[in-house]
Amino acid sequence: MKFNNPVIKGFYPDPSVCKVEDTYYLICSSFQFFPGVPIFESKDLINWEQIGHCLTRTTQVQLEKVNSSGGVFAPTLRHHNGRFYMTTTNDTTRQNFYVWTDDIYGEWSEPIYVDQGGIDPDLFFENGKTYFMSNGQDDYGVSGIVQCEIEIDSGQKLSPSRTIWQGSGGRYLESPHMYKINGLYYLLAAEGGTEYGHMETYARSSSVSGPFEAYPHNPVLTNRNLGGYELQGVGHGDLVQDNKGNWWLFHLGFRQTGQYMTYHHLGREVFLTPVTFGEDGWFTAGHNGTTLLSFDTDRIPDTVVQNEKKIFTFDNTDWNLDWCYLRHPHYENYLLESGRLKLRGSEVTLDEPGSPTFIGIRQKDFNAVISCEVSVLDGEAGITIYMDENHHYDLAVRTRETGYQVIERLNIGDIKSVEHTLDLTSRNHAVLLIKASATQFSFFVQLEDKEIPLGTAQTRYLSSEVAGGFTGVVIGLYAAGGCTGHDAAFTNFRCEYL
């Protein structure tokens, strides 16, 4: 059958995967958004359904006032002796920790911290021992992939942290994952930075602690030389074996906005690439070491159909799964009802690294039509196309002394400008409409059956290349100002991908 990449669209970076019996589970990083570390499951590798989050309580992770692209970095998911473990880094507090659960559909434990630095931690279990790996410096000042043995119940180190591999020469060696395959230990890593030079490399050894021999043809997977191809930034992957013995690599990548337009704003997404082991024990990946936007494969039966959801509404999404908050939310400002949302604004705005009244859903494709009826009694409320506190586009209804008006506001770095307004006089509500393409957002007000254009804004100014950071665009519904109750109401939300 033929499947299309990405298999999980939108801002879901740094995938890690494991298989338990006939079910695959996958998690991604979440940075400053909450709940943290979304969890997906699949039976066929290409159709994924979100089932929860690993970090759902404020006691599990500190996100108060963390900078955008701070907070929860790349996680690893592993299953051992009936228990799931998720290990990650809070990059803001510089702490590596893990949580565990015996029920992946339920709550996870409080964090257990490990006294080893770096980021992108990994757990490897063998013969009653637990090995903890991350990138960084070891106890002797040597940089690379660092390993120690820990006591799994407490996180206590049982051995010094020691560098076991220093990569193939690329910058930003990260994302270590260890596997034992056919008696050999394989250490997978990412190099080159999570940008256009990103790549997957690996090495192998007869011992879990090395020395490791690098794959002679590293990188095993990269799109760095595919200039003009939509799919770029391939790397940071995790291997999994299916029930038929085939190996696959789940990894991140991003889609640039045009053939020669090196901007991306949807974030880093989840891609699937086939892996093949040779008789010599080395493996190759993808099409001549590259990842494609679609693969024809006989590894997945033709009876499997890749489904794609095109329309997202209040009625067909789950507030606890599909939607997210900025940092730890003040729940008293939210009324999440069936088919309706009510918000109470606060003095915290979208322009600061706090927790404004905001609930968002990730943008999943370039071409979309986003609409919502918004009413306001006091303050301001609307739709924001949000990358971070310094880069977002707002379409909102706000109160004025003379009545109400709709505004189009552009926030690009230090420039924050209300570009267009439309007075509503006595009307305090309007249908707000945003049409998205790969290169542009267009903003409208829909009054009765008439669409009134308010302006446009380029997607590039919300891209990672301009804004920086590691996240992607989130379509947010927000309220600001006002303090007399849940002053803003949102109905008939619809995001349709074309």
Strand (E) or helix (H) holding 19: strand 16-20
Helix count and strand count (H, E) for the chain: 1, 38
229 to each of 15, 46, 364, how far by Cα in Å?
22, 22, 19
The rounded Cα 304 to chain-centroid distance in angstroms is: 26
Q: Which residues contact 109 (CB under 8 A, 6 or more apart)?
A: 99, 100, 101
- Examine the residue annotation and report whether 174 is marked as an active-site residue of this protein: yes
Bridge partner list, 90:
72, 95
Distances (CA, A) of 132 to 120, 145, 155, 160, 237: 11, 10, 9, 11, 18
Per 3-state DSSP, the chain is made up of helix, strand and coil in percentages (nearest 5) of 0, 50, 45
CA separation for the pair 294, 241 (Å, rounded): 20
**Catalytic residue from among 14, 138, 394, 487:** 14
One of 174, 378, 388, 408 is an active-site residue; which one? 174
Q: What is the CA radius of gyration of the chain?
A: 23
At 392, list the tokens: 């977002």
Give kind and range of the element (H or E) at residue 126.
Answer: strand 122-126
Alpha carbon distance 420, 79 (integer Å): 53
Active site residue ranges:
14, 174
